[in-house]
Amino acid sequence: MDKTQLDPVTMARLHATGFERGWSAEDFARYLADADMVCVGSATGFALARLTGDEAELLSLVVDPLWRGQGQGRTLMQQLVSALARAGAARLHLEVAHDNQPAIALYGVMGFSPTGLRRGYYPRTGAPAADALIMALKISDALP
């Protein structure tokens, strides 16, 4: 999908449903205007990555709570991996909260492997910061 078809206001609303500290519509407008960003999605979810040379970093993957558990996250990741391959990316990196089992399971099915841990990476209100599991995917391994 052409990232110009994505709506920053919708993206901000969706992002707030999945993260304690949501990003603003202005943040998403800047991301969508950036030539180094690759984004796929619709009104029910999106995946956003930053491309640097042949490396990419997943910045956010969000699915509307009403659509979670129905395979949309996997579809978005498949679309993102294909778009990144077309853009010349060889590897995709990400961080995920160590206790976000649904996301970790999705990334495992996609072929991501753990590469490290960042202690106290995700601040949480009223609780200790969560560690981030760092994962990576060789994009050619995830293509059909």
> What pLDDT is attached to residue 6?
82
Q: Is 76 left (phi over 0), alpha (psi -120 to 50) or beta?
A: alpha
Rounded CA-CA distance 20/144 in Å is: 34
Q: Which residues are known to be catalytic? A: 95, 107
* Full set of structural domains in the chain with CATH: 3-142 (3.40.630.30)
Q: How confident is the model at residue 1 (pLDDT cuts 50, 70, 90)?
A: very low
> What pLDDT is attached to residue 19?
87
Q: What is the pLDDT of residues 56-101, one digit of tens each?
A: 999 999 999 999 999 999 999 999 999 999 999 999 999 999 999 9
